[in-house]
Chain A
């Protein structure tokens, strides 16, 4: 890389000539097809999971424990926004709404994310615990969804599967380090896991929608992902010498995000995310 050749000393910087990839994964596989109401609802669930988690992770940027980690968490947030955009873009084809119509102009009861994703950042250990559960689940989900008979969902899953694999690696590296670092970090990691685990079960709950879609080979039954999830978590916990929460502390949250019921954390998150867009309805940015 020679500066003389790339940089004009008088202020012009050459712009890299690259082939720009599709902004929406799955767009070229879609061939203009629109999602059915069922498929749109399913895509919205997955899209909202990604969007809400990305919205939380964005808060870490400029506040991470080390600058290298600002960059790492930023990359994960960007991947998730990419997944959300592709999924919501597809979900919107059912009703003629854009990704932004869905992200910015739906109210809390219309959001379909599971409770795990809306749980607050907490300290770094909480963020890592939430990231571990999310990414281990998403790796299982997207791996299975690449086989979907819906070609758009399969293409989105294929792109996303590679990226969440890295998110899982990031979460595992940090889980092991925090659990095996100092006394304080181990204590915090255990607290983070305890506070996160109540939200695991909802991820693996089947309902009528996914059963209908799974019968057509479109969706993946959440319950079918549990064994893979448990096996991976068991490996990580064995390496980190961690145990699953038991006894009095092993709460299981009611859940209900897929039906639009949410914890106290989603409302404020949406209020902040949507405030500017809603102040200027119809505006373009």
Chain B
């Protein structure tokens, strides 16, 4: 079921020793088959990272009129990193990204888990409702951004519904109030990605053996006890995977946020990706951007390395 950590060659090595000629053919073929992927990984990982290190030590900008490889003329050493450590906008973007994650992922998890419980056994209409629930996650995120942009207009349908419910005209300016704007983008993220949690958690729940659940019930366990002692513990790996996927993707969040608010008002919805994008496109200080990007890559590598080694141990 879980295959995340097995990168050992499966079943193949003992056999290749058996036949010398076939062994050589297999070696050549194995090498050739994996070569394109290896090259692409090198192309996107090694070279860019070296370039990133180099540029991050300079004050280079594409506006300077010198090509990137002559950026040494603008060598400034570690200044970019020192600036970064004291850049309040950077730290607030990091902080905001984490807050968004800390709200979105648990809400998506709980909603997804609740829905999965409702869908775990057969009932009329199950298939059609299942497919319908999945629709939001298949909508292009940028398009989802436009949808919510329209919804949150002060004359838009959300205020319309609120007006209807409250019986008086509601004119909330969702996207120009800093707190409400953040709430708005969080809602759009929850809307789009709860179905993913649901999909993964339901698959996990369905893979919990039926007879174990029956055995628990026959031993006198009620619904809650069965759920917390059999179903949830058996879903542990899947829950970790589902949350990990959402945490990773949520950290990168850009499309719908940028389209709904452009990071604003002010910097109220500026996540780390939006911040980097703005510095890249608007301020054009690429030496600094390289430093930010590298810092994030290093932190992520350490965090993911720790997570993976812990997963391998457990």
* B partners with A: no
A contacts, CB < 8 Å to B = none
